[in-house]
Chain A
Amino acid sequence: MATQSIERAVNTEVQLMMTCLCDAFYAGVAEATVRVLEAAGCRVHVPEDQTCCGQPAFNGGDFESSRKIAQHTAKVFSGDLPIIVPSGSCAAMHLHGNGLQFENAPDEGQMGVRSLAKRTWEVCDFLVHGLGKTTWPGRLDRRVAIHDSCHTRGSGTGAAMRTLLGSIAGVELLEIGQAEQCCGFGGTFSVTFPHISTGMGTLKLDEVHAKRPDMLVSGDMSCLMHLNGLAENQERALPHCHAVEVLAEALG
């Protein structure tokens, strides 16, 4: 989704949108995001009433449901502070998906949803293209394979992730083959199309393992959850984590 050229709010006081996936499974990623943002000089607010960006319903074509969730999110994240998300996918929902589901809708019906697109950043994108960080301290001797999640296509996330991770002393970045191919998750897609989804994920794992990395890193836990779930089943699991967890680890 073409998000690169969007002008968005920048501030060292930010709101964290933890994502439902981190709320349910990946508390460590949300914690790392707070630590990393604080290390970058930010004061982080975490609105308690946050739930989900609405993407599961949106992707299912149930815009009536997903619009309600978006309106709830807009209410919870009101104000003008940047909204930082440790997920390219949830960020894309704010930057692109909401525009689509509220296409032709009058401003008043959106109840602040439009403001989300002007303030939302994927966390790595924010650190580099918002705050201007180009290096990260610490040392980690590790070969890191990067999986670009589909919803960061055309955004600043891929470059930002490489800038930050690549600047950590000792980190060797590995580009995996056929990087444009999806891991096969796609939310409910993987449930409706399990055979195709598994096939896609298996191919992705083949490409990842071909590079013999020490770990697999991405900006979206959904892809990693799916890939690791498959890898464990195929008895070829490898360490995997969100890019901010690597940054947090480098902080020591």
Chain B
Amino acid sequence: MSALAALYAGYSSLILLAGVAALLALSVYVTLMAGQLSLGNAALAAIGGYTAAILTRDHHVPLWPAVLAAAAVATAAAVAIGIPALRLRGIYLALATLAFGEVVRAAALNLKITGGALGLINIPPLAGFWQVYGALAGAALFFYRLERSRVGRAFAAIREDEAAARAMGIKVTHYKVLAFAIAGGLAGVAGALAAHFAYVITPAQASFTEAVNILTFAVVGGTSTFVGPMAGGVLLTVLPEALRGLREERLLLDGAILMAVTIYCPNGISDPRLWRWRRARR
């Protein structure tokens, strides 16, 4: 066994969780690109996870068709809540999406098909390194192109000044719904993959805490380019495990990191200026 394989054997669940966190952070990032704050992504991921798990576990569908179905269902859900909710701005949108998340959580808790509080257990372990990081690489490539496309520029225009964007003839609502749809698809894929290496999915997947975690990945990583959310997702997943020795202080450190990053590096840890500055001093 090579050193790399040994490392993976010892940390695979952490490595996979980090990849999924990066995907989820990207799904929040795409709405932030268009200036929208969503707290519903955890619920969208849960919808994806449940969909895929039901397909593979009960109907023996292979992984990728199940993931695609999950993405489709989550996208549809995102568009369905997106169209009415996108009339709202800023914090109101955040609260509406939060309410949506709680409805999903309560529904998952009460429906038969989602297994109630127990959730779905014994999900076949179909997702491994290549599936998760393949999806992440695909998403990264997609964002690399998106940021440089007409759609990306439209998102940025809406984020900077919605009224001005509208005046320039950008179909604001159209682009907002598009951003929500992409977010839904990504969250659906992330949720579907996560369910297939965690063996279980439960209503807690859609909880407020989870939604806040995902947002935190993006903000700590930085939202100026797609690299930031990915870095944030990976870092904030690995860090608590790396700090396991400081067990008692874990929460405290998490909190301190969140505050320090938002206050002292407002553009996240991936801010190019932050790194340039370091290099310049050297």
Query: Do A and B truly interact?
Result: no
Q: Which residues of B contact A (CB under 8 A)?
A: none
